[in-house]
Homo-oligomer: A and B are copies of this chain.
């Protein structure tokens, strides 16, 4: 009879700290936690591209190859980073499920904003990290009093996740793009579109451009184009609202008349 479960996938075991803790030999001065934190520090300061095994090792004052005693590959380190980036999920606030899910969504947004490199990490497979599951759990908990069957709660949350992550990604992309070149994202973007879009091939789009949504065609327009980019943005609220409206209808349909 073994004390631990031997069947856990290796990455999952790593994420949960279920790796063999050595008792013999030299004491470990590095540790998975320290490595992950160092990598995150670098990514926060210099972007994900700056995170290399050599760079992380330098941050820790050790040799590059030392890291491989604690992490099997760089991909595993990225996995650890992506889970660690999601700092402790907040407790649920709000009186009804909608308020709670909404505040959950904004908490996710804030979290990703704090670690913009999060969206660049290629994710493959379902979330299995401790923090990731904590967020998942909180979202499920927000639906506790809806009377929805468990399977449907999962469906709702799994549907909400891409909305929030995708919208967060979009808003960060736009914000970083804007501060990289304000002119190109203001009226410049609209003008660039206008020069390139053929009304015959893009009828609906050119109608939108003509209406001046992407910035006025003549550069004498309003003086505050950055408004919509560096705050939460109305797009986030709108997309979230639409999805939650649909969820509300679904809840009513499922639990209301039966």
Contact = CB atoms under 8 A, between A and B. Distances in A.
A195 B8 contact: yes
A106 interface: no
Contact of A246 (B126, B161, B167, B242): B242
Interface residues of A, number: 74
Contacts of A243: 163, 239, 242-243, 246
B235 A124 contact: no
A247 interface: yes
Interface stretch (A28-36, A57-65, A133-141): A133-141
A158 B208 contact: no
Interface in A8-34: 8-9, 12, 16
Contacts of A242: 156, 159, 243, 245-247, 249-250
B154 A208 contact: yes
B170 A158 contact: yes
